[in-house]
Amino acid sequence: MRSTIAPAQERSATASILVVDDAPDNLRLLLNALQEEGYTVRCAKSGNLALVSSENAPPDLVLLDILMPNMDGYEVCQHLRQNLQTSEVPIIFLSALDEGNDKVKAFALGGNDYIAKPFNVEEVLARIRYQLQAKRRHQQLQVLANQYRHRSHDLEQARTLLMEVLDGLSDGIAAFKPKRDQTGRITDFQSQVVNQAFWDDFWPWFSQQQGTHPPQNREAPLQLEADSDLFDVLQAALEATAPLQREVYCHHTEADHWVEVLVTQYHSRLVTRLRDVTQTKAQITDLEVAKQELYRLAMTDGLTQIANRYCFDSYLKSEWARLQREQQPLALILGDIDQFKRYNDICGHLMGDRCLQAVAQGMRQILNRPADLVARYGGEEFAILLPATPCEGALTVADRVQQAIRSLCLEDAVCHLCEQVHISLGVACMIPNPALEPQQLVTAADRALYQAKTAGGNCTHVDPV
């Protein structure tokens, strides 16, 4: 449902809108929508009626159809632009013509915007608001210009002060005006205001891309040719309905630069702010690297350098949800080093740590798939999570784990009893569904592990879930 709530500043002053269209349905639709927004609306079914209505009471904005009998929208636009009373009235074309040449012709004749039919009412209202705001800003500027028209000395002082302020900024500030050929195509952008930072720091980066050099005099206009990155940003800003912000890469004098470009369209001029964000982007990159490293540390067991319990729990939860959607099995192997307390008592905790490290690396080396996860579950317990793996596949992995652990030989152990390591394994496999919880898979694997330990260890048991 379309909202009819308009900003307070728009409702404070009712704008008059003239809708020109020979289709009654379009007139009725636009009339209702505009009146709901609080606008004063007049309708005209032909170009002649539109010109008469505009002559008697110039509207604040004109919505103009192109395809009309006797006098089309292009001719109406020409007459409105030639009339001093309506020359500055914003004109938004509404037309079923959606070819590029039609739009170019509309803008070349003085149109402010172009919306193709069938149109979206919300889009039309948004563009009307934008054009009325632009018109108010323009009118405010005209009022100021009229106030100072006969005060050339004060204007010059104001301009000098403005340039002093702009020159004191570290950002590059410039205002550009588009130059068009006879077809309405933009051929280049010509500067009208340029501050010192733009001239000294930023212009060389873009002019080098063009293979040109800036004029010797800063008062001379700068020309942006079509192969400049800044040209592309300015051209995109002309088509945008809001200020446009982009980051542009520049290479100058063997140095890389990232420039943040913010362009605001102001009454057919483009006010441009350039800011060097190279250092900021480098800092963001460093922070992202630090963030990734902190994440890795948070998910890694410091002793064994495999995933820790927190990582295991998080991965189990996400894989359970994924495999529930895909209806694929999820297998879990829980392992416990046999008689590890005795191992620590005989060989010492340092040797016990080496044993944990060796077991962890032995398990990790037998896993071939990126989705498989080996984690330290706690103390001398380990967990291997095998997504999309049936029970038979999990048993195959468990056999390989047993072989890998039995083949471990810690030759520098302080006692021959510590050279050989054995492990008990418990295996469980489930197809996740909404009636089950991930913890049930852990519980099943733990039951199997308990059976293996009860059987004397150094073996594998499966829980028949």
* pLDDT tens by residue, 424-463: 999 999 999 999 999 999 999 999 999 999 999 999 999 9
The beta strand positions in 160-238, using DSSP E, are: 172-180, 186-194, 223-224
Catalytic residue set: 380
Residue 347: what pLDDT? 82
Query: Distance (Å, rounded) from C-alpha 97 to C-alpha 258?
Result: 40
Residue 402: what pLDDT? 95
The mean per-residue pLDDT over the stretch 120-125 comes to 91
Residues recorded for the chain: 465
Q: Cβ(221)–Cβ(198) under 8 Å?
A: no
Percent pLDDT > 90 in the chain is 45
User: 401 — phi, psi (to 5°)?
Assistant: -65, -45
The beta strand positions in 21-167, using DSSP E, are: 40-44, 61-65, 91-95, 113-116
pLDDT at 80 exceeding the cut of 60: yes
Intervals of CATH 3.30.450.20 along the chain: 152-279
DSSP for 70-109?
A: SS-HHHHHHHHHHSTTTTTS-EEEEES--SHHHHHHHHHT
List of residues 6+ apart from 408 with CB closer than 8 A: 358, 359, 362, 420, 421
Query: Distance (Å, rounded) from C-alpha 295 to C-alpha 307?
Result: 11
The CATH H-level superfamily of 8-145 is: Response regulator (3.40.50.2300)
Q: How many of the other CB atoms lie within 10 Å of CB of 352?
A: 19
Query: Distance (Å, rounded) from C-alpha 106 to C-alpha 104?
Result: 5
Residue 295: what pLDDT? 82
Give 280 or 15, the one with higher predicted confidence.
15
Element spanning 117, H or E: none
User: 464 — phi, psi (to 5°)?
Assistant: -80, 70
List of residues 6+ apart from 343 with CB closer than 8 A: 337, 351, 352, 355, 417, 418, 421
Intervals of CATH 3.30.70.270 along the chain: 300-462
DSSP 330: E
The mean per-residue pLDDT over the stretch 275-304 comes to 86
For 300-462, CATH number out of 3.30.70.270, 1.10.10.10, 3.90.1150.220, 1.20.1630.10 equals 3.30.70.270
pLDDT at 272 exceeding the cut of 70: yes
pTM of the predicted model as reported, rounded to 2 decimal places? 0.48
> Structurally, what CATH architecture does the domain formed by 152-279 represent?
2-Layer Sandwich (3.30)
Intervals of CATH 3.40.50.2300 along the chain: 8-145
Which pair of tokens denotes residue 49?
């009626």
List of residues 6+ apart from 152 with CB closer than 8 A: none
